[in-house]
Amino acid sequence: MAAALELVRSYQPQPILLPVSANDEAFILQLQPGQVISAEFRKARNARFHRKFMKLCSIAYGEFERLPQSPVQMAGSNRWVTPLPDFDEFRYWALVQAGFYQV
């Protein structure tokens, strides 16, 4: 049985996790007392900041495309290549350069 649940931390006498929607509550009520389930929890991404980041990346990529693409030497070899404009590669490069990802 697989389900994606949304839980919210509540401040009762001790902190507990409560279901957010009626579907989440229905899933929890289907469980037998003492039944063990496992889960992977992640904090939800802030959608406003994600949209802002993607918009800034698209603006920066638009400027990057206008620059003249000169050949660059590949690290550790004698090969010279001309970089192809690719938004996903540019976004990955921006994340690495900003320090949010370790190569």
Q: What is the pLDDT along the chain (103 residues), one digit of tens a residue?
A: 667 777 777 777 777 778 888 888 888 888 888 887 777 877 778 899 999 999 999 999 998 878 777 787 777 788 887 777 889 888 888 888 888 876 6
Q: Are residues 11 and 28 in the same domain?
A: yes
Q: Per the structure, how many domains does the chain have? A: 2
For residue 103, tell me if it sits in a domain.
Answer: no
Q: At what angle do helices 47-66 and 87-98 cross, to 10 degrees?
A: 110
Report the pLDDT value the prediction gives residue 31, as an integer from 0 to 100: 80
Closest CA to 24 of 45, 40, 7, 49: 7
Range of the domain at 1: 1-44
Q: Are residues 38 and 60 in the same domain?
A: no
Check: pTM over 0.85? Answer yes or no. no
Q: Are residues 72 and 55 in the same domain?
A: yes
Contact partners, residue 58, CB within 8 Å, separation at least 6: 87
Report the pLDDT value the prediction gives residue 57, as an integer from 0 to 100: 92
